[in-house]
Amino acid sequence: MNILLIGNPNVGKSVIFNRLTGVDVISSNYPGTSVDYTRGFLSISGKRHQLIDVPGTYTLEPTCKAEEIAVELLKEGDVVINVIDATNLERSLNLTLQLIKQKIPFVAALNLFDEAEHTGIFIDVEKLECILNVTCIPTCALTGVGISKLVNSLEEVKVSDFDFDNEDRWNTIGNILQEIQHIKHKHHTFLEALRDYSIKPVTGIPILLIIMVLMFLSIRFVSEGIIEHISNPLFNSLWTPVLGKLSALLQNNELLSKLLFGEFNTVLNYETSFGLLTTGLYIPIGIVLPYVFSFYTILALMEDSGYLPRVAVMMDTTMHKAGIHGLSIIPMLLGLGCNVPGALATRILETRKEKFITATLLSIAIPCMALQAMLFGLLGSYGYKGLLIVFTTLVIVWFIVGNILKHTVKGTSPEIFMEIPPYRLPYFKGITKKVFMRIKWFIKEAIPFMLFGVLLANVLYAFNILHGIEKVASPLFVHCLGLPKEAVGVLILGLLRKDLAVGMLIPLQLELNQLIVASVVLAIYFPCVATFSVLIKELGIKDMLKSVLIMLITAILVGTILNQVLNLI
Amino acid sequence: MTKILSEMQRAEKGIIKQIRGGKELLARMDSLSLYIGKEIELVSKQSKRGPVVVKLGNTQVAIGSGIAQKIIVDVK
């Protein structure tokens, strides 16, 4: 039997899905988290059934892609669990009535039932059952209340015989609500007051700025704390002795020991030695992982509290300058952690134009945490000047390229039109699960590419392959960008991992101005391989090639101009 | 008094009277329970051409300025 979970966006379908199957699905407090659907299995009295988590939809007459998928999936289902938002019965019942019109057998789960009572909404469930003539079960997916009852109810699912005039649907719903819903007026709660203040421009924009600064400071504080107090001591006290013993064993094999440990004579430097077991493991685990961890923890708090859609609304006017609307802030923010989930999130955007612009701007001007972590290390030692120039340049580039694309890319960008969910207190398990899954993903993506990159760098140097490429590209590098020709190799490795490439800048002993130009060019010129492959899937090859061309031209132009400007100062 | 949604003031309440749009817009509005006869309250306006946020029942919806210009409201 195929069981479908159907309901409005952001009513807790994914949490119910997790409860029923134990399969991990990321849920967030904003609409459209599951544009993709997920399948899992659950057993009812010994029999295995397939459960499908359908993307949230407000209607069975699709108005966007997620809704089209939902309607398409409906054909596969034998029975439906209609997840109803108890805090928002009117809108939820609209979908329920459409299910009834199509004669689809279902049971209704009135989720967020406890939250509804908190806000003063009381629902007579028995009366609702009487009117609709289907099973209705109050649930609270987060705590698990009502879930086992829901599973049991699936043994007997029927088609509702409730009759109504489809043209007069809202009136019908109004009449039902009058009979079953009782609303007690309550005083404004703290969360409701916050809800208003955080979206009015006068108070909302200062709040947004404060949150962004706090986010930035706490990410640096937490990550640097982890690096200094956990990862460095661990590497030094546990890993260094192991490496020492290994290198003694491999003393006679020069090639192998160079590959594994890189250049180290007396003191081991994890950042510059460039061996598979030294730099290849230290950069992703020792430096980047702490940053990725703290970034995603803080982002998860913002997601689950429901703050992100407010950011989208407040950023809407700004984003319009680049021809995209406020919702594009979500891929951009995710991309600050790692560009791969950012690229995947472009799926929530509807038109080709929006996707193309968002993906291109993401690749050009949104440095991932890995790159940022290395930049903080590299440029941070010179004070804030270098970092300030790099990030300001990227912001300016974001606006200029965005504005050019807005006027040149064909197609339309729809306007923002979305529900803003209420604030909810993030729950611990949801946060840890989400952070854990994203870190698992990062480790799976980052470490293989990192090791491969270090290996490739060593092979390229060992066989002098880079010299040929350096010769061809050196006029561009030396004259336009003011960089030594050795930087060509850095950019080639940057295709694999940008953090690795920044690490390779260290032994070149560049001046601050050169480091700034190199960092900016490295950020702009190309997404890393992992992001690139996701974007090919999302945009198609033709659009991706166009996008890459824009990136390369932007990188050369911006690098050249920056080099000239910095030399003047 | 009737007003265009984008011209409503903050905290003003009213009832949706007319939606000047095609079938597609009507369907999208309908799906978020913005239908003719629905009572709404303007929660906030961003900049001049920015989106408006309206409260309907227990939820809030952000509406881009272009769409907000197509919605006529009977203001109380």
B18: DSSP letter: E
Mean pLDDT, chain B, whole residue set = 91
Residues in chain A: 569
The reply to whether A190 falls in a domain is no
Residue-range definition of the domain harbouring residue A301: 201-568
Tell me how many domains chain A contains. 2
Residue A30, pLDDT score? 58
On the question of pLDDT at B53 being above 90, the answer is yes
The reply to whether A84 falls in a domain is yes
Residues A95 and A227 in one domain: no
In angstroms, rounded to a whole number, what is the distance separating the alpha carbons of residues A442 and A435?
A: 10
Average pLDDT over residues A4-33: 77
Average pLDDT over residues A328-350: 86
The reply to whether A365 falls in a domain is yes
Contact residues, chain A, for B63 at CB < 8 Å = 415-417
Residue A172, pLDDT score? 95
Residue-range definition of the domain harbouring residue B31: 2-75
Tell me the pLDDT tens digit for each residue of A217-269. Answer: 898 899 999 999 999 999 999 999 999 898 888 888 888 888 888 876 667 78
Tell me the pLDDT tens digit for each residue of A388-406. Answer: 999 999 999 999 999 999 9
Average pLDDT over residues B25-40: 91
On the question of pLDDT at A66 being above 90, the answer is no
A204 interfacial to chain B (CB closer than 8 Å): yes
Residues A84 and A175 in one domain: yes
Q: Residue A52: which H helix or E strand, with range? A: strand A47-53
Tell me how many domains chain B contains. 1
In angstroms, rounded to a whole number, what is the distance separating the alpha carbons of residues A455 and A318?
A: 43
Looking up tokens 């009737």 gives: B2
The reply to whether A195 falls in a domain is no
The amino acid that residue A400 corresponds to is I
**Core vs surface per residue A303-327: b (16+ CB within 10 A) or e:** bbbbbbbbbbbbbbbbbbebbbbbb
On the question of pLDDT at A31 being above 60, the answer is no
Mean pLDDT, chain A, whole residue set = 88
The reply to whether A193 falls in a domain is no
Closest residue of chain B to A115, computed from CA coordinates? B58
Contact B67 A415 (CB under 8 A): yes
On the question of pLDDT at A32 being above 60, the answer is no
The reply to whether A196 falls in a domain is no
In angstroms, rounded to a whole number, what is the distance separating the alpha carbons of residues B2 and B10?
A: 15
End residue of a domain, out of A148, A183, A218 = A183
User: Which among A295, A269, A296 has a CA at the least distance from the CA of A283?
Assistant: A269
End residue of a domain, out of A183, A215, A243 = A183
End residue of a domain, out of A183, A212, A237 = A183
Tokens standing for residue A362 = 């993401």
Average pLDDT over residues A408-429: 87
Chain A closest-CA separation from residue B1 CA (Å): 24
Residue A99, pLDDT score? 94
Cα dihedral: A479, A482, A486, A490 (round 10): -120
User: Which among A183, A88, A173 has a CA at the least distance from the CA of A128?
Assistant: A173
On the question of pLDDT at A33 being above 70, the answer is no
Residue A27, pLDDT score? 63
User: Which among A6, A164, A140 has a CA at the least distance from the CA of A70?
Assistant: A6
> DSSP readout, A236-285?
IIIIHHHHHHHHHHTTT-HHHHHHHHBS-SSS--TTTSB-TTTHHHIIII
Tell me the pLDDT tens digit for each residue of A98-141. Answer: 999 999 999 999 999 998 998 889 999 999 999 999 999 999 98
In angstroms, rounded to a whole number, what is the distance separating the alpha carbons of residues A124 and A136?
A: 10
Tokens standing for residue A429 = 């398990």
Max mean pLDDT among A50-54, A224-228, A537-541 falls in A224-228
On the question of pLDDT at A64 being above 80, the answer is no
A429 SS3 class: helix
B9 interfacial to chain A (CB closer than 8 Å): no
Contact B32 A419 (CB under 8 A): yes
Domain of A70, CATH number, reads 3.40.50.300
Contact A316 B38 (CB under 8 A): no
On the question of pLDDT at A54 being above 70, the answer is yes
Domain of B31, CATH number, reads 2.30.30.90
The reply to whether A191 falls in a domain is no
Residues A157 and A218 in one domain: no
User: Which among A558, A175, A540, A137 has a CA at the least distance from the CA of A364?
Assistant: A558
pLDDT band at A360 (very low <50, low <70, confident <90, very high): very high
Tell me the pLDDT tens digit for each residue of A173-223. Answer: 999 999 999 988 777 778 788 888 898 888 999 999 999 999 888 988 999
Chain B closest-CA separation from residue A310 CA (Å): 9
Residue of A169, A316, A324 for testing the chain B interface, max B β-carbons within 10 Å: A316
Residues A292 and A429 in one domain: yes
B43 SS3 class: strand
Tokens standing for residue A268 = 């081991």
Average pLDDT over residues B10-21: 93
- In chain A, what percentage of residues exceed pLDDT 70? 96
Residues A439 and A300 in one domain: yes
Greatest pairwise CA separation for chain A in angstroms: 87
- The CA distances from residue B34 to A58, A407, A414, A432, in Å, are 12, 32, 18, 37
On the question of pLDDT at A35 being above 70, the answer is no
The CA-to-CA distance between both ends of chain B, in Å, stands at 7
Residues A215 and A317 in one domain: yes
Q: Residue A41: which H helix or E strand, with range? A: strand A38-44
The reply to whether A188 falls in a domain is no
Residue A23, pLDDT score? 61
> Could you give the ipTM of this predicted complex?
0.94
User: Which among A219, A202, A469, A200 has a CA at the least distance from the CA of A337?
Assistant: A219
